[in-house]
Amino acid sequence: MRKDLGALPAVFPMPVLLVAAYDANGTVQVMNAAWGMICDMDKIALFIDEDHATTKAIRQTKAFTVSIADREHMAAADYYGIATGNRMSDKFARSGCHAEKSANVNAPIITEFPLAMECELAEIVETENLHAVVGKIVNVCADESVIAENGKVDPMKLNALIFDQFQSGYYVATERAGKAWNAGKDLMHAAQGK
């Protein structure tokens, strides 16, 4: 029997993304954002409020990075979601993390996190029901420790955090359950009568 739970954001898993930008003074602004998704082969959409210090910085500099949080740096990732740059001018410095300027966009890369998408601001979509920051991904950089022998990112080495909206938990995605565009082939053949 099913139980009604009411209106809630019932998507699982959700990513744990660290969005970083320089503000007009060159200060690193960074926030934790679970509401983000790839929206094209070279674009990412972040559904973040316009009042965040990081959103304001993105508007100023027209560039940002998006890092994937990992298990090892869960405390820092969570801190970036708890603390606000609007009331804490040294929020990033207090985290103990480090940043280096991207070689491709005018935005900081938080060096502790193993993977970062370097983005130029493509557009900000504002409607009655939506505020989305869309970035054009100009480069992805990853620490060698998460690269597989084939030169691609190995999700098992990434230890990416995923967010659970239901219980407010963090989990790590570390088990491969199947191969994409392959697991459903038998059903596809059956549907086609083969």
Question: pLDDT class for 166, splitting at 50, 70, 90?
Answer: very high
Residue 193 has pLDDT above 90, yes or no: no
Helices in the chain by DSSP H: which ranges?
53-61, 74-82, 91-95, 155-158, 185-191
Question: pLDDT class for 190, splitting at 50, 70, 90?
Answer: confident
- Phi/psi at 12 (5° precision): -145, 135
The whole-number pLDDT of residue 47 equals 97
d(C-alpha 131, C-alpha 94), whole Å:
29
The whole-number pLDDT of residue 176 equals 83
What digits encode the pLDDT tens for the residues 1-48? 999 999 999 999 999 999 999 999 999 999 999 999 999 999 999 999
Residue 152 has pLDDT above 80, yes or no: yes
Q: Is the pTM here over 0.75, yes or no?
A: yes
Higher pLDDT, 177 or 132: 132
For residue 142, give the nearest of 155, 123, 126 by alpha carbon. 155
d(C-alpha 32, C-alpha 44), whole Å:
15
Domains and CATH numbers, the chain: 14-191 (2.30.110.10)
